[in-house]
Amino acid sequence: MMIDLPDFFNNPSLISFGAFKIQYYSLTWIISALLIYFFLKNHRIIRDLGLNQKIVSDMVIIYGLFFGAMIGGRLGYMFFYDLQRWIEDPFRLFFLWQGGLSFHGGLIGVIVSLYVFSIKQKISFLALMDSIALAMPIGLGLVRIGNFLNGELFGRPTNGEWGFIFPTDPLGIPRHPSQLYECFLEGIILFFVLNYIARQNVAKGVTASALLIFYGLFRFIIEFFRQPDIHIGLIAFDLSMGQILSLPMMIIGLVLVVVFQRNNATIS
């Protein structure tokens, strides 16, 4: 039984007053920021770092969400997915309604912005990133639900009974709900995996490195079910851009786990 989604997905606005609209996708970002804040503000690592609630809120909203995810994500999208058109029209960077955000760019942005934050607060960068890694799947899962409600980033065609027909798809054919696959793996499963690792006797930085490994792995797998970007398609070895970007993530994560654990053993 194919699932034909309603026309709601053509204009998924929660509130609409003339030109003013609040979309469900925007709401998922707001809820993500709130849940991440509440998760972190009383977390053991954050308490050990001596960060109060005001500093945590600034960290989440200003450094993590705005400078990291938003600016980093947009720069990453333009660089990885739309470089030629960005070169031709540099102001395209600000056309947020054309294109979107890149997780890989957002991750780089978060790392850079939180490194600056850790220097400013004079705290351990690795411990801070471990705490952020534990909370990040909350946002990843919710934003993928936002992608689903927006009818964007849908999957490749499928003959399975679980196929969804998205009104935003010009072909109008059943497709994998890849956004929901990502919500499950990159959100729910990744959250429990990372929090399990954090409870083990691991060195600082290992939990954050595990995020690189498992997110990269899950994203690589799901990309086989996700429709590649039309203007890019598949690249080398029939891999998508998301898969090509996820491979070095996994490798870097594995190398860092070995380095951090060895350094910890040497110090011990």
The Cα–Cα gap between 71 and 101 comes to 9
**Number of domains the chain is built from:** 1
- On whether residue 142 sits in a domain, the answer given is yes
Asked whether residue 19 is assigned to any structural domain, the reply reads no
- Evaluate whether residue 26 is within a structural domain: no
The boundaries of the domain holding residue 252 are 3-12+126-267
72 found inside a domain: no
Residue 61, in any domain of the structure: no
Q: Is residue 84 part of a domain?
A: no
pLDDT at 26: 79
What was the pLDDT predicted at 11?
57
Is position 91 within any domain? no
Q: What is the pTM of this model?
A: 0.87
| 31, part of any domain | no
The tens digit of pLDDT for each residue in 166-191 reads 888 889 899 999 999 999 999 999 99
Percent of the chain with pLDDT over 70: 89
DSSP class per residue in the chain: --EE--GGGGS-EEEEETTEEEEHHHHHHHHHHHHHHHHHHT-HHHHHHT--HHHHHHIIIIIIIIIIIIIIHHHHHHHHHSHHHHHH-GGGGG-TTSS---HHHHHHHHHHHHHHHHHHHT--HHHHHHHHHHHHHHHHHHHHHHHHHHT-S-B-B--STT-EE-TT-TT---B--HHHHHIIIIIIIHHHHHHHHHTSS--TTHHHHHHHHHHHHHHHHHTTTBPPPTTT---GGG--HHHHHHHHHHHHHHHHHHHHHHHHHHH-
Residue 268: predicted pLDDT: 43
